[in-house]
Structure 1
Amino acid sequence: MHADFPLLKEIILFLVAAGLVMPLTQRARISPVLGFLCVGLLIGPYGLGRLTDSWPALELLVIDDPAGVATVGELGVVFLLFMIGLELSVAQLWAMRRLVFGLGAAQVGISAVAIGLIAYAFGNAPGASVVLGLCLALSSTAIVVQLLSQQLRLSTAAGRAAFGVLLFQDLAIVPILFLVGILGAGSEGPVLLSGLQAIGSAILIIAAILVIGRLVVRPLLRIASASKSREQFMAAVLLLILGTAMLTAAAGLSMALGAFLAGLIFSGTEYRHQINSDIEPFKGLLLALFFVSVGMSLDPLAVWSQLGLVLVSALGLIVLKALILYPLGRAFGLSTPVAAEAAILLGEGGEFAAVAITAALAVGVMERELGQFMLLVVVVTMFLTPGLAALARWTGAALARRAKGADAPLAAEDAQERVVIGGFGRVGQMLARTLEESRIPYVALDLDPELVAEHRRRGVPLYFGDASRPDVLDRLGIHSALAFATTMGQHGASEHVVRAVHRAWPAVPVFARARDAEHARRLIACGATGAVPETTEASLRLSLDLLSGIGIPEEAARAIVDERRNELMS
């Protein structure tokens, strides 16, 4: 049966690894990326594969066809780029334009030049130096965003700065992969002329795909969705993704670029959230397979004699990127604690560096020994990321305390458009997590000093204060808030808060948690925009009302809340 079913053993080993790695990493609260890299190293030819001559039984645990696994794993990169394009929001990019296209672009550009010059100074070829400079300038979106989300810190100033830089880095991978393809093409004639011709052809192809796609995609998806068959809809989506990827590949560009363009086209349709939900499992498994294949390609013994240099290079990369990002952060208006925290947090290499290096090895831009060395450097820095996050948080807090601003409420002039949450108990924390996942900034108040201290140690924007006092809310800049949400369950206290906020700031939408239907009616009479009776489902509805009330499309808000409901029910 094995002979008739290619990669059967490899598929079984991968599914066993996925079934074990994902739960273990979730329990340990570390990124699955690191787990899959370790699994790939273990079951690859340079792990247990080295021992099969002495212990033939180990062949059952070793993947025999790394090249085949890597080929399938490349689909993970295709779907990852598709998801990046799908999740891009023009409104979000515009709102964060200073951090994304200002700080992010400066960080990638300056870091790439500095790292590339160092690589060239060590005797590497110009093409390899350019690729190394660009890919090592990138950080790990998967690990950093997961860490910030787990700690409810995406809405902090440092979290928003890091996310803005990471967003530009995600955009940068598309031209980086395109450049790798140009360098690997080996066109005759002047390199600059060949590059300009390739770029011109690529622009025409990209423009044609975007124009035709916008005319074709929506009608096709409408026909597929009208069938009421999830399978037919999924088949249409996969056809459009892989079809676009094949078109760009046939034109001499990368499949990943085609998938990214498909994501951009889908992002402008009303089907984007359903597609996001349906594609996520495919993307997760295939991307996991890609990282397993990267782990299998690692050969630590090949650079064992240079292990000290690997560690020094990893630390040097972290320090160099941090030293570049910190002054850039200050130049773009970040405070000293925020700039320091973001700089340390983004010092590591990332998954896209592995993608670019793997692509460069495939087209011959980089020698295998150099690729092995740099892949190990990247992997080491990724393993250090949780420690970097802790160091970044400690450094930011220490600098803030030195500035005597760690425990003071935000001044009104420092406030940005955000949601203000009154009360940070069970419902308040659920609201905060929902806002985190929607990339919506918030700030919270609570009167429990131990609760405040616990969450502030984790970097949560929670302050000690009475949400019923207008002067405290004014210090938080509630006059420019997107909305105010009170999660207090007591009858008198919640009504007093709603009445006070509505009287002082009638233009600010107020959403309230109510004990029962009668309490909800009284809260609305006091000025609440929406009031939802208590229960788990009611808190989910409050999240839905809040997201819709501050301008998130209802379909998007419902998709976010449905995901939260599934998590609570699982």
Structure 2
Amino acid sequence: MAAELSPAEAVDALVPAITLLGFGAAAALVSRALSLSPIVGYLLAGILIGPHMLGLIQESGGTHLLAELGVVFLLFDIGMHVSLRELKESRGDLLGLAPMHLALTGLLSAGALYMLGISWPIAIAVGLSLGLSSTAVVARILTEREQNSCPIGRTATHVLIFQDIVAIFLMIFATSLGEEETGATGLAGLVSEHVMGGAGVPLVLALLLAVIQAVIAFGAAMMFSRYLLNPVFRTLAATRNDEAFTAFTLLLVLAAACATAVIGLSLTLGAFLAGLAVSGTRFRHQVQTEMGPFRGLLLSFFFISVGLAIDLPSLIRNLPLVILGAVAILVLKTGLGYIAARVNKWSVPGAVQLATLLAQGSEFTLVILSLSSIMAGMPPALMGSLIAAIALSLALAPSWAILGGKLSRELARRKQVTMETANTPTVGRPVIVISMTSAGRLAIDALIDFGIPYIAIDNEPDRFLAAVADGYNVSFGDATNMKLIEAIGGNNARALVLGQARYEVSAEVTPTIRRQYPDLTRFVAVDNHHDLDRYLELNVRAHLLGGDPKGIEMVADMLRILGVPDDGLKDWLSREADLFTIGDGSDRHSRADEDDDEDVEDTVEEAA
């Protein structure tokens, strides 16, 4: 029988955990009240309870283990948001804008660190990590501003997916920098022992071997997902045993992390691959629900542990450097991001908004800076200042994005985009979308996804400018002018979508539309039964605003009338649901995947 702990030993073991939990909860509450990123609150909590201030907790093996587990669950969650389908559909951004954005920002940062005397391998690892943006912060901003599905939101999400994948290989590279002291493992260890007679493996070769191992592990994860994981999850779902489902998911994450560590790769790579395997199943949202509390709790421990290592007196002495560093991160990444967006054919307003949205530092940079191989090669003062500058950039990110949005709208206004139909020919029969409301935007998103040409019009200046700034191709004009409708292709239009329900206007133009365009199908989303009945009397296909996102029922009906098959429609509805849950609270993840499938089927049936 194991020896029991004495009361004093039990207290000593529990006090660090109680301290972390108490201050972590307080940091989360205060951050939410101040509209700050929780990451900033956790870092400040770590500084407060650390050895340089109150001294309530010291770094130890236990705190390091909790911090490592937080990173493991972070990478697992990132893996669940990466799917092969998403990679295929976003290949334009993944091969163009995303690598250019990272190369410009990351390599410039690496060059600056090298000029400060940092060795080039560490400068590259840290510099490229500084080129990354915060997935958590950007996703939250997109959700709060309802931009997940617009061109700006989609491109930003694609860039974040690319950066998350690059971050995995950055982890492999940064970890390999410390193998000179610890000894090579995995394939590098075998090469060192059996080919090089125990000599050290050159860094470039060690990195290449690590990438080969990662590719093999990736293939194994895909096979595991396809042939084993789906049947296991289906069996667990059939038992309706929540405890068994949670236990198996924890086992999956930790076992995958341990497996990659055993073959010489990092714990985090295994967690990422486990998440990638889960992303290919129908149970992804349920797994996110089960793992959400573990991820949030353990990740808070990681950021608190980073704060423990910050020397506050030294940080105060270098405060001007910290502020300068944060401003430099935001300004330089905005400027370089703007260049990358313009080279990839974004408009000036869209490029400005996209660049400011992705300008902050990344939580993954804090992960890189916490590695022993990186800490050993950077001066403590520079390390602390860099961590603080990243935290400050995360705190300023929402305000910076708001500023970018206002600037992009002002640029759109000065550009004075107007209706010039002669210069904007449309190939094929277009769908005309009037008013860039949430429902109108969603209709355009669907048309773009299915390659259906469209023409968008809005005569409300603020809404028009916001749509241009968000990356939509929209023109300013009064849709009640029938000559304008004829000029933009009304005679050849496949359908007309009313983003805003204005019954009196619709009733006034209906006789003309019936006479001049008898085959034109009209769609509208309304918010009450009275308008629903009135629009149906006008022979307009009307739908109540009831789903999330707004107008989803109308758009599903539009796609079906335009000839999109039910399977394609179900797949699109599922993708839209994913877009609108990224960065959202756990309340929207709390429903099971079976319920999601039922909602999709209900929407398709309603459209039918």
Provide TM-score, normalisation by structure 1.
Answer: 0.78
Distance 1:471 1:373, change over 3 A: farther
- Partner amino acid, structure 2, of 1:40: G
Distance 2:410 2:88 in 1: 32
- Partner amino acid, structure 1, of 2:87: L
CA contact (8 A) 1:298 1:372 kept: yes
2:331 to 319, 325, 350: 319
Match of 1:53 in 2: none
Distance 1:135 1:400 in 2: 32
1:515 to 524, 528, 551: 528
Q: Deviations for 1:487-534, whole angstroms, at most 9, x for unmatched residues?
A: 638599489789969x96979894533633994597399252xx5457
Q: In the TM superposition, what is the alpha-carbon distance from 1:156 to its structure 2 partner? A: 5.1
Distance 1:435 1:15 in 2: 46
Deviates more, 1:155-164 or 1:472-481: 472-481
Match of 2:41 in 1: 35
Distance 1:301 1:309, change over 3 A: same
- Partner amino acid, structure 2, of 1:354: L
CA contact (8 A) 1:181 1:363 kept: no
Number of residue equivalences = 543
Distance 1:362 1:26, change over 3 A: same
Deviates more, 1:111-120 or 1:550-559: 550-559
SS at match of 1:347: coil
| Greater C-alpha Rg | 2
Q: In the TM superposition, what is the alpha-carbon distance from 1:72 to its structure 2 partner? A: 1.0
Distance 1:495 1:29, change over 3 A: farther
Distance 1:251 1:2, change over 3 A: farther
1:148 to 2:161 alignment? no
Deviates more, 1:94-103 or 1:247-256: 94-103
Distance 1:522 1:127, change over 3 A: closer
Match of 2:133 in 1: 139
Match of 1:379 in 2: 391
- Partner amino acid, structure 2, of 1:31: S
2:93 to 99, 114, 123: 99
Q: In the TM superposition, what is the alpha-carbon distance from 1:290 to its structure 2 partner? A: 1.9
SS at match of 1:512: strand
1:341 to 2:353 alignment? yes
1:84 to 2:78 alignment? yes
After TM superposition, the structure 1 = structure 2 runs for residues 153-232 of structure 1, keeping only pairs within 5 Å, are 153-155=147-149, 157-186=151-180, 187=184, 188-232=200-244
CA contact (8 A) 1:326 1:343 kept: yes
Q: In the TM superposition, what is the alpha-carbon distance from 1:328 to its structure 2 partner? A: 2.0
Q: Deviations for 1:463-490, whole angstroms, at most 9, x for unmatched residues?
A: 9876676777899999999994656385
After TM superposition, the structure 1 = structure 2 runs for residues 284-363 of structure 1, keeping only pairs within 5 Å, are 284-361=296-373
Q: Deviations for 1:427-449, whole angstroms, at most 9, x for unmatched residues?
A: x659979999xx99999988777
Distance 1:272 1:223, change over 3 A: same
Match of 2:604 in 1: none
List alignment gaps of at least 5 residues for structure 2.
1-6, 185-199, 560-568, 591-608
1:126 to 2:120 alignment? yes
Q: Deviations for 1:69-113, whole angstroms, at most 9, x for unmatched residues?
A: 342132222222222221223343333322233111112123322
CA contact (8 A) 1:423 1:446 kept: yes
Q: In the TM superposition, what is the alpha-carbon distance from 1:11 to its structure 2 partner? A: 3.6
Q: Deviations for 1:288-338, whole angstroms, at most 9, x for unmatched residues?
A: 222222222222323444333333333333333333322222111012232
Provide TM-score, normalisation by structure 2.
Answer: 0.74
Distance 1:409 1:48 in 2: 66
Match of 1:260 in 2: 272
Distance 1:409 1:505, change over 3 A: farther
Distance 1:74 1:481 in 2: 55
Q: In the TM superposition, what is the alpha-carbon distance from 1:143 to its structure 2 partner? A: 1.8
Match of 2:51 in 1: 45
Match of 1:52 in 2: none
Distance 1:394 1:543, change over 3 A: closer
Distance 1:420 1:16 in 2: 55
Distance 1:487 1:518, change over 3 A: closer
1:63 to 2:57 alignment? yes
Match of 1:237 in 2: 249
Q: In the TM superposition, what is the alpha-carbon distance from 1:282 to its structure 2 partner? A: 2.5
Distance 1:33 1:224 in 2: 34
Q: In the TM superposition, what is the alpha-carbon distance from 1:175 to its structure 2 partner? A: 0.5
Q: In the TM superposition, what is the alpha-carbon distance from 1:2 to its structure 2 partner? A: 6.7
Deviates more, 1:541-550 or 1:184-193: 541-550
SS at match of 2:361: coil
Deviates more, 1:554-563 or 1:195-204: 554-563
- Partner amino acid, structure 1, of 2:529: D
List alignment gaps of at least 5 residues for structure 1.
50-61
Distance 2:512 2:24 in 1: 52
CA contact (8 A) 2:79 2:279 kept: yes
Distance 2:119 2:298 in 1: 32
Distance 2:518 2:42 in 1: 51
Distance 1:70 1:420 in 2: 57
Distance 2:579 2:333 in 1: 34
SS at match of 1:48: coil
- Partner amino acid, structure 1, of 2:108: A
Q: In the TM superposition, what is the alpha-carbon distance from 1:177 to its structure 2 partner? A: 0.4
Distance 1:64 1:221, change over 3 A: same
Q: In the TM superposition, what is the alpha-carbon distance from 1:145 to its structure 2 partner? A: 2.8
CA contact (8 A) 1:499 1:527 kept: no
SS at match of 1:253: coil
Q: In the TM superposition, what is the alpha-carbon distance from 1:135 to its structure 2 partner? A: 0.9
SS at match of 2:9: coil
Deviates more, 1:333-342 or 1:458-467: 458-467
Q: In the TM superposition, what is the alpha-carbon distance from 1:251 to its structure 2 partner? A: 1.3
Distance 2:90 2:459 in 1: 32
CA contact (8 A) 1:225 1:233 kept: yes
CA contact (8 A) 1:422 1:488 kept: no
Let me know the Cα RMSD of the aligned residues.
4.7
Q: In the TM superposition, what is the alpha-carbon distance from 1:268 to its structure 2 partner? A: 1.3
Match of 1:55 in 2: none
- Partner amino acid, structure 2, of 1:151: R
- Partner amino acid, structure 2, of 1:545: E
Q: In the TM superposition, what is the alpha-carbon distance from 1:239 to its structure 2 partner? A: 1.6
2:110 to 116, 120, 128: 116
CA contact (8 A) 1:184 1:364 kept: no
SS at match of 2:413: helix
1:545 to 2:553 alignment? yes
Deviates more, 1:74-83 or 1:509-518: 509-518
Distance 1:474 1:256 in 2: 58
- Partner amino acid, structure 2, of 1:301: P
Q: In the TM superposition, what is the alpha-carbon distance from 1:44 to its structure 2 partner? A: 2.3
Distance 1:7 1:483 in 2: 67
